[in-house]
Structure 1
């Protein structure tokens, strides 16, 4: 009796082993599921600066009421063009902005910048010329913006670029009012901030020769597109 039980147990084990082997042979290469779990993507929190559409409409209308009329009156008078419309936005290609941020991080790291602190957006205005730098101006005297990354130094955030030696240099040291940065005293700073405008007719020698500018321009501006605000 005991011998019969041992024989049955052995046959049952052999049957299970045979079934398992058949299943393994039936699986194709690559069918095995990975045992490691894929890492979960961390959710991005909304920045503190996000505002509601109601508030964005409010400040947009404030600009319409307090700025647009003054600008249009001035431009129509100086251009002698009654059809002039004020530009209400400047946009950049989304992919360009992503590339720009990656480029700034890359160059800042190579230059030994510990941390890029801010992305400063300057308001600007193209000259009344057909060509600016090496690019054709679509609309002379058109308003525009340019972007400058900043670093923290001596209690302030300063725009920076990459000097000829590969190190970070402060923008204020080469393009400030009268070539003296943004001023060394409070009164100097006030005058510099108020009068910080490029002189296109007497541009200084290029201080960036051999280095690398991190200033981004080239956005497209115009009146509000249909459906927005």
Structure 2
């Protein structure tokens, strides 16, 4: 069931991830920015959202009548801009690490928080291995030792969850000289969306 939930959310994140891979748009001679290639038609977006509600949501809710599938998450625009500025600042101070993208992870709150709903968290990624290697990019955090900051793959900083707990070793934003760059705490919209002015 957990796998199905994650696969269901994958569809939404692909669009966002593609946006992170786009090169920044440059204004035209008239000063306006042309629409990026990832922009889709409003009706296409509605069809995709409706298809998710028709094909995926019933699967997620089938075995638990009390479960309501998360249909959307909102990120405050200024908070997102602040987050992007923060991770750029931290990467710059860590040997001018180049952020190659923003990865979106599917996650779930503990049952005692937000009704145990599905959520996402964000983390910047950097190129792994030597430049030009075919190794996939990895999420990173910033580790500071003796006044020197370095971008470190998160896999080198966390403990894998055990069967008794799913808490990672890094439970505070800064711990043992490590600055986490993972972001969450986005408001979610309970289904179904009842606003007639929004996607149905």
- Once the two structures are TM-superposed, the CA of residue 61 in structure 1 deviates from its matched residue by 1.7
Distance in 1, Cα, partners of 2:62 & 2:53: 13
Q: Given that residues 161 and 168 in structure 1 are in contact (C-alpha distance below 8 angstroms), is that contact kept between their aligned partners in structure 2?
A: yes
Distance in 1, Cα, partners of 2:38 & 2:47: 16
- Greater RCO, 1 or 2 (C-alpha within 8 Å, sep 6+): 2
Pairs within 5 Å for 1:24-173: 42-76=31-65, 81=66, 84-129=67-112, 137=113, 139-154=114-129, 155=134, 156-165=136-145, 166-173=149-156
- Once the two structures are TM-superposed, the CA of residue 172 in structure 1 deviates from its matched residue by 2.5
Matched, 1:201 2:165: yes
Matched, 1:215 2:182: yes
Q: Given that residues 161 and 170 in structure 1 are in contact (C-alpha distance below 8 angstroms), is that contact kept between their aligned partners in structure 2?
A: yes
Tell me the SS of whatever aligns to 2:56: helix
- Once the two structures are TM-superposed, the CA of residue 114 in structure 1 deviates from its matched residue by 3.6
Distance in 2, Cα, partners of 1:111 & 1:123: 27
Distance in 2, Cα, partners of 1:200 & 1:218: 24
Tell me the SS of whatever aligns to 1:149: strand
Distance in 2, Cα, partners of 1:147 & 1:198: 22
Please provide the CA RMSD for this pair.
2.5
Q: So what's the TM-score if we normalise by structure 2?
A: 0.69
User: Which structure 1 residue ranges, 5 or more long, are not aligned?
Assistant: 1-39, 130-136, 180-196
User: Which structure 2 residue ranges, 5 or more long, are not aligned?
Assistant: 1-28
Deviation per CA, 1:182-221, whole angstroms, max 9, x where unpaired?
Answer: xxxxxxxxxxxxxxx7867263543842210011101011
* The structure with more radius of gyration: 1
Distance in 1, Cα, partners of 2:162 & 2:52: 25
Q: When you count helix as a share of all residues, which structure comes out higher?
A: 1
Number of aligned positions between the proteins? 157
